[in-house]
């Protein structure tokens, strides 16, 4: 049911796109060919994706990949949805700090909570990774998995992104939704492999990306199974279990998927290790970096950004001939809502 809703949304986007451009002969031919990537402009990125998929799914090709080996992994933050001005999960954590503050009067004088309560972003960033971890532990643990899921869903239904004044889940990338569906239609099994929290993603990825909950690899805290008042619960503990970032990504892929991917999509240096891991397999592979170059529709950043830095990854992509999406040039639309605004 979720899947059909999802297909309907994607499909209506596709139809809208085709109708919008129906006077252009190029789009006319797309219509007859059932263009799988209607929000992608003609160019190297689009062509190389389609060539790869057509090649490895062709049984006659020397590059043919068996269905069971068609594993595709996608980073999430900055790759399937935006990550500016901060990772969206941090906005969630900050809102949680404000909500829980009445029960923690000590936070008014204690960093990093003080910075959050005073909306002092520069101080918060100064608190670094250790500060962020402290916030996550204080806001993501203590409750049961069911309670936490309810909190995430509720937050997503009311929170608004500061720049776009829209739900955060509106800020997913239309071209990436099409890419996921295109790969799924060609019998790729699609996984998210994110530094974000697994249990922060699971409540919404199924509906938004059509990726099942069990195909989400991410960071996690420890949990514990208990019988409380006769009812079995899983309680979230304030202790890191696994950080699924950088060298952790191939480790997470190995643990959860157990097979080397043949398609890897990411946008930052945090994705470089899983790109290298994917590239190291035998046979044809596809490594895809998203380069944020569009300050008008989204954001432009790379080597100097603290969130989503793309520096070594850009060099390695150039050196090894991996495909780099130029967001500004390659994407007709960034967000699904642009389709309705035209």
Smallest distance from the beta carbon of 75 to its own copies, in angstroms? Answer: 16
For 311, the token pair is: 């520096």
Smallest distance from the beta carbon of 131 to its own copies, in angstroms? Answer: 26
| 212 counts as binding its own copies under rule CB under 8 A | yes
Q: Binder to its own copies among 57, 82, 215, 323 (CB under 8 A)?
A: 215
Smallest distance from the beta carbon of 144 to its own copies, in angstroms? Answer: 10
| 268 counts as binding its own copies under rule CB under 8 A | no
Smallest distance from the beta carbon of 288 to its own copies, in angstroms? Answer: 18
Point out which span in 23-31, 102-110, 256-264, 327-335 binds its own copies (CB under 8 A).
Answer: 256-264
Residues 308, 289 contacting (CB under 8 angstroms): no
Task: Specify the DSSP element, H or E, that contains 338.
Answer: helix 337-341
Smallest distance from the beta carbon of 126 to its own copies, in angstroms? Answer: 30
Residues 148, 156 contacting (CB under 8 angstroms): no
Q: What share of the chain is helix, strand, coil (3-state, %, to 5)?
A: 50, 20, 30
Task: Report the distance separating Cα 210 and Cα 172, nearest Å.
Answer: 12
Q: Binder to its own copies among 104, 259, 303, 312 (CB under 8 A)?
A: 259
For the chain, where are the E strands, in sequence order?
71-74, 189-197, 216-228, 231-242, 263-266, 286-293, 300-301, 323-326
| 17 counts as binding its own copies under rule CB under 8 A | no
Smallest distance from the beta carbon of 189 to its own copies, in angstroms? Answer: 7
Point out which span in 37-45, 94-102, 197-205, 290-298 binds its own copies (CB under 8 A).
Answer: 197-205
DSSP 41: P
Helix (H, G, I), strand (E, B) or coil at 264: strand
| 145 counts as binding its own copies under rule CB under 8 A | yes
Task: Report the distance separating Cα 260 and Cα 250, nearest Å.
Answer: 9
Which x/- pattern over 23-62 shows residues binding its own copies (rule: CB under 8 A)? ----------------------------------------
Smallest distance from the beta carbon of 1 to its own copies, in angstroms? Answer: 6
Burial (CB count <10 Å: 0-12, 13-18, 19+), residue 79: buried
Smallest distance from the beta carbon of 76 to its own copies, in angstroms? Answer: 15
Task: Report the distance separating Cα 120 and Cα 97, nearest Å.
Answer: 13
Count residues near its own copies (CB under 8 A): 44
Instruction: Using the structure block, give the residue that is written with the tokens 């790759």.
Output: 79
What residues numbered 223-252 form the site for its own copies, per CB under 8 A? 223-225, 227, 231-232, 234, 241, 247-251
What is the rounded (10 degree) CA torsion for 97, 99, 100, 104?
80
Which x/- pattern over 63-102 shows residues binding its own copies (rule: CB under 8 A)? ---xxx--x-------------------------------
Q: Pairing relation of β-strands 286-293 and 300-301?
A: antiparallel
Query: For 139, how many CA atoms within 13 A lie in the half-sphere containing its CB?
Result: 28
User: Which residues in this chain contact its own copies in the complex, by CB under 8 A?
Assistant: 1-3, 66-68, 71, 145, 189, 191, 198-199, 202, 206, 212-216, 220, 223-225, 227, 231-232, 234, 241, 247-251, 254-259, 273, 276-277, 279-280
């Amino acid at each position: 049911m979720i899947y059909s809703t999802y297909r309907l949304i994607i499909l209506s986007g596709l139809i809208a796109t085709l109708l919008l451009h129906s006077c252009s002969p190029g789009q006319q031919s797309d219509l007859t060919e059932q263009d799988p990537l209607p929000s992608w402009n003609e160019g190297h990125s689009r062509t190389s994706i389609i060539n790869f998929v057509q090649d490895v799914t062709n049984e006659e090709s020397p590059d043919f990949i068996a269905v069971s080996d068609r594993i595709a992994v996608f980073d999430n933050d900055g790759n399937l949805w935006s990550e500016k001005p901060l990772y969206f999960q941090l906005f969630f954590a900050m809102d949680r700090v404000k909500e829980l503050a009445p029960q923690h009067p000590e936070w008014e004088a204690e960093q990093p909570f003080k910075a959050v309560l005073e909306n002092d972003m520069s101080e918060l960033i100064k608190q670094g990774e250790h500060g962020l971890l402290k916030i996550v532990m204080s806001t993501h643990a203590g409750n049961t998995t069911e309670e936490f899921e309810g909190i995430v869903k509720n937050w997503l239904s009311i929170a608004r992104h500061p720049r776009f004044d829209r739900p955060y889940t509106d800020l997913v990338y239309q071209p990436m939704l099409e890419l996921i569906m295109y790969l799924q239609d060609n019998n790729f099994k699609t996984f998210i492999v994110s530094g974000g929290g697994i249990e922060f993603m699971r409540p919404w990825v199924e509906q938004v990306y059509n990726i099942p909950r069990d195909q989400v690899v991410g960071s996690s805290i420890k949990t514990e199974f208990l019988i409380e008042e006769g009812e079995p619960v899983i309680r979230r503990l304030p202790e890191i279990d696994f950080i699924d970032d950088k060298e952790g990504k191939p480790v997470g892929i190995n643990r959860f998927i157990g097979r080397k991917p043949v398609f890897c999509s990411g946008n930052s240096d945090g994705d470089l290790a899983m790109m290298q891991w994917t590239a190291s397999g035998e046979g044809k592979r596809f490594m895809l970096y998203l380069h944020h170059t569009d300050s008008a529709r989204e954001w432009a950043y790379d080597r100097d950004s603290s969130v989503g830095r793309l520096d070594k990854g850009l060099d390695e992509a150039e050196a090894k001939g991996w495909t780099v999406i130029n967001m500004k040039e390659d994407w007709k639309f960034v967000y699904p809502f642009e389709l309705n605004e035209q």
